[in-house]
Structure formats: C-alpha cells, structure tokens
Amino acid sequence: MKLPVPCRRKIDFAALLCEVKFIAGPRCSVARSNSNRGSAVYGQRTGDVMKRERLLTASSKATVSEAARLMAGQRVSAVVVVDDGALVGIFTERDAVFRVIALGRDPLTTHLCDVMTRDPVTVDPERTFGHALQQMHAHGVRHMPVVTDGKPVGIVTARDALDPELEEFVAEARRREAIR
C-alpha cells in the first residue's frame, strides 16, 4: 500500500536570492544594484527577524533522544548545542535521520557531540536578513544560529523566508517592476 506523500512547497533559494539582490539595495550586503529602494524585510537586521522564543539549546552531552523530545515538545527542527554558554554546534532533524537513524545508532545512548554539526555557520544580529539568507544558501543550511560574542541569542531558518509578509513583499516588488 502506498502512503500519501505530503505536499511540500519547494523553496527556490536561487530565485529568492535574486529577489534579495534586486530589491535590497545598498543596505543589503548581497545587493549589487545601485537602487535606493527600501529593502523591507530583507534589509531588516537579522536580530529583528530571528526567533528568540524558538531558540532551543542543549548540552553536547545530551542524548539524541533527549534532544528529539525537546525539539518535538517545542515544535522546532533544530537544537543549538551549547557548552558553558558558548555555541559548539547545531543538531537538526536531518542530522537525526542521516547521522543516527540511517546508520543504526541508538538515540538513547548517542550523544549530540558525536552527531552534531560542529562550528555551524552563524550570523551577527546586526547583519541583514538578506545576508543571512545568502549565507544559508551558500553553505546549504536551513538553520543559522544568531550569535553575539560566541553566545547564541536566536536562530533564523529557511522557513522565515516563507513568512507571509516576505511573500507579500516579493509579490509587491514584482508588481511594481512590471508596471515600470
């Protein structure tokens, strides 16, 4: 019996980044245009877009099972791994699938330090959200800790780019370009 495949909207990061480059103007580090148009959400500080309340942290000594329960309880797809207040890694749903389940490791005894992504790509809260998106695309990641002085203060995700406000912004930018 075939199980139904959930409909998932594919994110076209390349197209999204083209919009960022086109729209963001000089305030955005990924912009290549001399446009002086406002950048709305893409030009906002990452610190204003990030999810503080969704930042979930765990010790590198926590087990995969403990981290998975935390993630499920908070309905998030990543946990930032912190030791002594400093960021040491990130553990995501993909890590659970590819580094634990697919390899037959026991989630009850496997520690995060053995399967996390060490030294993850991070962004400063003062950088633009457009810059964060560009870095996520360039490094092939979906979650990026926002860090100040080596300490995580929030997280931005590829899902943040799907925020209805962002979609409306891109649609409005395309509409304006079409009437020029």
Distance CA 92, CA 174 (A): 34
pLDDT tens for 114-168 read 999 999 999 999 999 889 988 998 999 999 999 999 899 999 988 877 666 555 6
Whether residue 53 has pLDDT greater than 60 = yes
pLDDT tens for 8-41 read 444 444 444 444 433 333 333 333 333 333 346 6
Domains of the chain (ranges, CATH numbers): 13-172 (3.10.580.10)
**Contact criterion met (CB below 8 Å) for 75 and 126:** no
What are the tokens at 12? 């076209």
Count the Cβ atoms, other than its own, within 10 Å of residue 44.
Answer: 15
Question: Which of 51-55, 64-68, 134-138, 140-144 has the lowest average pLDDT?
Answer: 51-55
Whether residue 5 has pLDDT greater than 70 = no
Q: Give residue 169's pLDDT band: very low, low, confident or very high (50, 70, 90).
A: low
Each residue of 111-142: b (16+ CB within 10 Å) or e?
A: ebbebbbeebbbbebebbbbbbbbbbbeeebb
